[in-house]
Structure 1
Amino acid sequence: PFIAIRRQVRSLGFLCLRKCSYPGFPASLSLAVSMFLNTLTPKFYVALTGTSSLISGLILIFEWWYFRKYGTSFIEQVSVSHLRPLLGGVDNTAPTNSNATNGDTDSSRQSVSECKVWRNPLNLFRGAEYNRYTWVTGREPLTYYDMNLSAQDHQTFFTCDTDHMRPSDAIMQKAWRERNPQARISAAHEALELNECATAFILLAEEEATTIVEAEKLFKQALKSGEGCYRRSQQLQHHGAQYEAQHRRDTNVLVYIKRRLAMCARKLGRTREAVKMMRDLMKEFPLLSMFNIHENLLEALLELQAYADVQAVLAKYDDISLPKSATICYTAALLKARAVSDKFSPEAASRRGLSTAEMNAVEAIHRAVEFNPHVPKYLLEMKSLILPPEHILKRGDSEAIAYAFFHLQHWKRVEGALNLLHCTWEGTFRMIPYPLEKGHLFYPYPICTETADRELLPSFHEVSVYPKKELPFFILFTAGLCSFTAMLALLTHQFPELMGVFAKAVIHNALIIFWDYSHFIINETCTFGKSFGSEGVKT
């Protein structure tokens, strides 16, 4: 059979050589091409196809790595960013009309608000928790972007315009801007040599203390100093704008200290004491919702299994006017699942249908999954957890990690809750087939979450992406090209003579097609030019 195939391929090559001598094809060019192809050996074709396969394989590997890291194709990004403007293309990101409609303005505002980065209300201690993780694993759990956001928060909460009037506060104002942790700690000690500075105790408790017990002692010292500053500034707050700014700063410092003391009590097992401290803090400062203390309270109440109190907190904060969070949505789902999860069976539910309570639980799970679709994989332990960042993006992977890190134990404690979640959570995606265009109970899922999460989360963590992106065209193209050239290289190595004749036939046919089309284009151009010229003479 191989001899018959060889004869057919040779006849194909001779046929192409005869076609090259047709009247429209130059004989000199045909002879030159034939002589050139006859000089090529089978080794040349093996080297050509092998090199092509190697290059396309390297491009495929690079494209795959770039897609996994940045979520887009490198070739596509370069072509859109650099080549398209050179070719006269229009940038889709540029506004086409300066007078935008009210609907577009509202949607853009909603997108900006949903992509806002929030401080994690359950953030860990740097010295006692994050640094200990680094000492054990050698990995940095916090990114530079995350720590830079924390530095901005500290400058906003703990500084004011009158700090230069007090030497210790002036030192701490510089310390919060310092990038080097050791320099910050040294500045805090320097400030404490001048007086009992509350913000200096805060910095040492956050970054120098290596245990929660040490951090709690430093926060108690900060509380003593902070309460004195708060009482003094409270009496003078109406004497001018500077005094009002100083009182606002002292209020932020006092609230921060009390919240961290409550978190220390929670971490040390004194949960009831922590709940009392959080309730008192929320009553004393009801307007400071930026700290989201109610999320700390929800977690502590779940630890006490005080589900009635949890429901009361949810009734107050699960309001349409307030920004939602994974903690609120998934805690509401957990409470409704708790009522039916111990007796829930998928087989029985498929036979008799869902009861009213089961339907309410499933709807609550669907609501939570629509708000943040990344959480179930962490609760079901389909993805490994890492330490949560200091800032989170609502509806993003960072928020899912922060929620699951503290609340996984509460889901495990409720019998059958994870089983109910496992059976029902994927049904959410059938209700919202196009999540980036239209939502069901919430706004469409924001596009910016992946980019922000990649900056908030460490590089060793594989960021969860929703909706799952399809492979770019150029990855599929390079994969096909690599496979095709590798197959040609293998066939050329196994059957060099047959592939040599086949290559000559392909090149001859390509030359004939190119020659025909070039002649056709030239003839059409000349005909158009003559007709245009004759019409011009008539006019």
Structure 2
Amino acid sequence: MWDSTMFLSTLTPKFYVALTGTSSLISGLILLFEWWYFRKYGASFIEQVSLNHISPWIGGSETSTESTASTNVTNNTQQSVPECKVWRNPLNLFRGSEYQRFYWASKKEPLTYYDMNLSAQDHQTFFTCEADAGKAEYEIMQTAWRERNPVARIKAAHDALEKNPQCAPAYILLAEEEATTIQQAEKVLRQALVYAEANCQNSQQNEVKHRRDTNVLIYIKRRLAMCARKLGRLKEAAKMFRDLTKEVPPIMNVLNIHENLIEVLLEMQAYADVQAVLAKYDDISLPKSATICYTAALLKARSVADKFSPEIASKRGLTPAEMTAVEAIHRAVEFNPHVPKYLLEMKPLILPPEHVLKRGDSEAISYTFFHVSHWKKIEGALNLLHCTWEGTFRMLPYPLERGHLFYPYPTCTECADRELLPGFHEVSVYPKKELPFFILFTAGLCSFTALLALLTHQYPEPMGVFAKAMVSGLSMPFYYLLDKLEDQLLRNHSDNS
């Protein structure tokens, strides 16, 4: 056997400098390759090779479906990435009877001026028209929507009613902002409904005015249905929302009245009716929303959630029904990744804004505010969500260059949400992937070898002595085993002779 001490004594300091420099270079190249692979495919290359090729040789026959799915390329049907668009919240609260009561209790403004300004623009667009020129009551209402002071807005509405007691938009403003309870708001809206129906009937000969009066009528009916929902008259509310979905022309689908209907039906636990509504609106050609995606996931989870156990599923694998539910959850999380933390109460909830950004934090808040109770009613649904939602990010490319089911997650959502949500709320951002162990390991290895190379270059002789001591220390157990083996062989030879 060779003598390691004699061999090490022949090595010069230049050898140690070259050795550590080469090791640092190789580990640096491995780190760069690992980082590039992770950025492109969302997984560690070493980890993939270990799971897919080495693990089966040593007995691990099961491969990770999540890691395999992360490298699959799915054709994206939507090639263009649309810009961030702010939508009217179909379930927005009443300012006077809900938002204002929150302010009285907390002394915090629940709405931002940006959000309220968007509402003012909506009201001007839907509740006014060119034919209103010269009519004092409608001119007053045009300026009333833009008033920043709520007292001034309410006063303007009363002034408009003095000019014309049948001015339906003025009643809308009073129901929204002056009424301090839902009962009061409903009473004012019923007055507005009488005048809105009459105005809509009388303006059929004037297309511009009739379109405006139709918008007013649809708005009032929707708010009355929402009042019925809030007061517990669920069947009445469901019927009103169903009628509205039939009355509203296709061009007004942006109102998303079907989301109101879905929420009421879930409260009634009429899951078959909810599925029928989803079948109509969860179409590939129609825009998606958190309500559509997460309700579809909830219905899929409902059939398996009460019996789902992550321990049992990890041993026997997922059943077809469980796989369908998990895929539906992954689809929902890919669309809006902020919802699960609110549903699982990992983040505090606030009042929803009057406008939402699809796939953003504002939409997640609005959805959870109205739907978290529906998830809690189904036993095990939140547990299934908790066990599966984080796996979505291991299946998606990183950064999200393309989605499996939707267009890439918009980068503009954070800025828009900060405008829509109040300052006391911490805006959720797209969850970042954690770096795999092997990238951290190679980074540490590269840093360590680079430090060794630097020290060896600066202090070659002391580092050579240190290297000899390290090698000698590491070789001692080996030589100890050799001595023991040699003694055993000699003892056996002596016994045989």
TM-score (norm 2): 0.70
The residue that corresponds to 2:170 in the other structure is: 200
Q: Determine if contact 1:435/1:467 at 8 Å carries over to the other structure.
A: no
Confirm or deny that 1:263 pairs with 2:226. yes
The residue that corresponds to 1:367 in the other structure is: 331
Alignment of 1:24-423 (within 5 A): 110-112=81-83, 115-195=84-164, 196-234=166-204, 236=205, 243-287=206-250, 288-423=252-387
Change (3 A) 1:453 1:341: same
Deviation at 1:283, TM superposition (A): 1.3
Secondary structure at the aligned position of 2:87 is classed as strand
Among 442, 452, 458, the alignment partner of 2:422 is 458
Deviation at 1:362, TM superposition (A): 0.3
Q: Give the alignment's Cα RMSD to 1 decimal.
A: 1.5
Q: In structure 2, what is the Cα distance between the partners aligned to 1:155 and 1:327?
A: 27
Deviation at 1:439, TM superposition (A): 1.0
Change (3 A) 1:452 1:469: farther
Q: Determine if contact 1:341/1:415 at 8 Å carries over to the other structure.
A: yes
Secondary structure at the aligned position of 1:162 is classed as helix
Structure 2, unaligned runs of 5 or more:
1-77, 435-497
Q: Determine if contact 2:305/2:381 at 8 Å carries over to the other structure.
A: yes
Name the stretch that deviates more: 380-389 or 345-354. 345-354
Once the two structures are superposed, residues 70-114 of structure 1 have per-residue CA deviations (whole angstroms, 9 ceiling, x without a partner) of xxxxxxxxxxxxxxxxxxxxxxxxxxxxxxxxxxxx96x6331xx
Secondary structure at the aligned position of 2:82 is classed as helix
Q: In structure 2, what is the Cα distance between the partners aligned to 1:293 and 1:111?
A: 23
Q: In structure 1, what is the Cα distance between the partners aligned to 2:433 and 2:86?
A: 23
Secondary structure at the aligned position of 1:443 is classed as coil
Q: In structure 2, what is the Cα distance between the partners aligned to 1:469 and 1:169?
A: 53
Q: Determine if contact 2:81/2:408 at 8 Å carries over to the other structure.
A: no
Once the two structures are superposed, residues 178-218 of structure 1 have per-residue CA deviations (whole angstroms, 9 ceiling, x without a partner) of 22211111111011112221000000000110000000001
Deviation at 1:177, TM superposition (A): 2.2
Deviation at 1:268, TM superposition (A): 0.4
Q: Determine if contact 1:435/1:444 at 8 Å carries over to the other structure.
A: no
The residue that corresponds to 1:44 in the other structure is: none
Q: In structure 2, what is the Cα distance between the partners aligned to 1:437 and 1:399?
A: 22
Q: In structure 1, what is the Cα distance between the partners aligned to 2:223 and 2:399?
A: 38
Q: In structure 1, what is the Cα distance between the partners aligned to 2:88 and 2:433?
A: 28
Task: Specify the code of the residue in structure 1 equivalent to 2:150.
Answer: P
Name the stretch that deviates more: 165-174 or 225-234. 165-174
Deviation at 1:352, TM superposition (A): 1.1
Q: In structure 2, what is the Cα distance between the partners aligned to 1:176 and 1:129?
A: 19
Q: In structure 2, what is the Cα distance between the partners aligned to 1:179 and 1:144?
A: 8
Task: Specify the code of the residue in structure 1 equivalent to 2:135.
Answer: R
Deviation at 1:171, TM superposition (A): 1.5
Deviation at 1:321, TM superposition (A): 0.9
Query: Which consecutive aligned stretches of 4+ in structure 1 deviate over 3 angstroms post-superposition?
Result: 467-470
Confirm or deny that 1:442 pairs with 2:406. yes
Deviation at 1:393, TM superposition (A): 0.4
Secondary structure at the aligned position of 2:203 is classed as helix
Q: In structure 1, what is the Cα distance between the partners aligned to 2:174 and 2:184?
A: 10
Once the two structures are superposed, residues 437-485 of structure 1 have per-residue CA deviations (whole angstroms, 9 ceiling, x without a partner) of 1111111100001000011101100111104399xxxxxxxxxxxxxxx
Q: In structure 1, what is the Cα distance between the partners aligned to 2:174 and 2:383?
A: 44
Structure 1, unaligned runs of 5 or more:
1-105, 237-242, 471-539
Q: In structure 1, what is the Cα distance between the partners aligned to 2:371 and 2:277?
A: 16
Higher relative contact order (CA 8 A, sep 6+): 2
Task: Specify the code of the residue in structure 2 equivalent to 1:249.
Answer: R
Between the aligned residues of both structures, percent identity stands at 77
Deviation at 1:123, TM superposition (A): 0.2
The residue that corresponds to 2:69 in the other structure is: none
Task: Specify the code of the residue in structure 2 equivalent to 1:199.
Answer: P
Once the two structures are superposed, residues 124-180 of structure 1 have per-residue CA deviations (whole angstroms, 9 ceiling, x without a partner) of 000000011001100001011101111110100100011123222122112122222
Q: Determine if contact 2:117/2:146 at 8 Å carries over to the other structure.
A: no
Q: Determine if contact 2:109/2:422 at 8 Å carries over to the other structure.
A: yes
Q: In structure 1, what is the Cα distance between the partners aligned to 2:254 and 2:201?
A: 22
Task: Specify the code of the residue in structure 1 equivalent to 2:129.
Answer: C
Q: Determine if contact 2:350/2:365 at 8 Å carries over to the other structure.
A: yes
Q: Determine if contact 1:435/1:445 at 8 Å carries over to the other structure.
A: no
Task: Specify the code of the residue in structure 2 equivalent to 1:135.
Answer: W
Deviation at 1:291, TM superposition (A): 1.1
Q: In structure 2, what is the Cα distance between the partners aligned to 1:131 and 1:381?
A: 25
Task: Specify the code of the residue in structure 2 equivalent to 1:394.
Answer: K
Task: Specify the code of the residue in structure 2 equivalent to 1:214.
Answer: Q
Secondary structure at the aligned position of 1:141 is classed as coil
Q: Determine if contact 1:436/1:447 at 8 Å carries over to the other structure.
A: no
Once the two structures are superposed, residues 256-304 of structure 1 have per-residue CA deviations (whole angstroms, 9 ceiling, x without a partner) of 0000000000000001100000111111224221211000000000000
Secondary structure at the aligned position of 1:118 is classed as strand
Q: Determine if contact 1:365/1:425 at 8 Å carries over to the other structure.
A: yes
Q: In structure 2, what is the Cα distance between the partners aligned to 1:315 and 1:387?
A: 30
The residue that corresponds to 2:56 in the other structure is: none
In the alignment of these two chains, the number of paired residues is 356
